Amino acid sequence: MRACNIEKISGDNMAKSIITTTTKLAMAIVEKYVKTGDIVIDATAGNGHDTLALANLVGEIGKVYAFDIQEEAIEKTRNLLAESSRFYNVMLICDSHEKIADYIEEKGQVSVALFNLGYLPSGDKAINTTAESSIRAIEESLRILKKGGVVSIVMYPGTEIGKTERDAVLSYAQNLPHNEYHVCYSSFPNQPETSPEILLIEVK
């Protein structure tokens, strides 16, 4: 695994730094599962940074399916991809990630499904992912992943909604059959309890 570069900062920037570090760590792990030509999913497109990173990983002959329920997020992602000339291998879908299976044709061929839960950064904080829809989306993602593929989930327990979602997702993952999946949970014990956490589910 690539080392994670953690900067020393304090004050109002601390929470932002922890979030950035966590998402970078999740992407560094995901990179090990992706090669040129792969099919991958960004289940929460947001501002498009993960979508762009995945597009760069799979290259021109790969494909990225990027989902977000908010048109604002899809537009932000579209603009970022346009700036980077990466439209040719990305399909943008304005719909709930729980409907992933309705859009993915290559079932059993997907290498990675990436989730970054919570709300759209700089968007309406009242619009959040929820435990129920996220679990359905994770479940659908696991069904279409290939053997050796991984679902990566960054969770945000810093709000009541986020904590409820984190607890529900962890409970779901803990009950997955151990002979079918590897489950890895990463938290940061020397950081505030509200810091983001990472959950990985690998298909055996």
Under DSSP, the state recorded for 119 is B
DSSP-assigned letter for residue 4: P
Instruction: Dump pLDDT digits (tens) for 164-183.
Output: 999 999 999 999 999 999 99
Q: Which helix (H) or strand (E) covers residue 153, if one does?
A: strand 145-155
Whether 5 is covered by a domain: the verdict is no
Q: Is residue 31 part of a domain?
A: yes
Residue length of the chain: 204
Pairing of strands 197-203, 145-155: antiparallel
Task: Provide the β-strand partners of residue 40.
Answer: 64, 112
Work out the mean pLDDT of the chain and round it to a whole number: 87
Q: What does the alpha-carbon distance between residue 184 and residue 64 come to, in Å, rounded to a whole number?
A: 24
Does 7 fall in a domain? no
Look-up of token digits 């290559």: 106
Higher pLDDT, 44 or 158: 44
The answer to whether 140 and 100 have CB atoms below 8 angstroms apart is yes
Domain membership of residue 50 (yes or no) is yes
pTM of the model: 0.86
Which domain does 133 fall in, by range? Answer: 13-203
What's the CA gap between 22 and 154, in Å, rounded?
8
Beta-sheet strand order (sheet of 145-155)? 90-94, 63-68, 39-42, 110-116, 145-155, 197-203, 181-186
Whether 8 is covered by a domain: the verdict is no
Structurally, how many domains does the chain consist of? 1
Tens of pLDDT, residue by residue over 117-145, are 987 676 666 778 899 999 999 999 999 99
Residue 63, domain CATH = 3.40.50.150
Q: Would you say residue 54 lies in a domain?
A: yes
In-domain check, residue 6: no
Nearest to 78 by CA among 97, 60, 88, 92: 92
pLDDT digits (tens, 9 = 90+) for 26-67: 999 999 999 999 999 999 999 999 999 999 999 999 999 999
E strand or H helix that includes residue 164 = helix 160-174
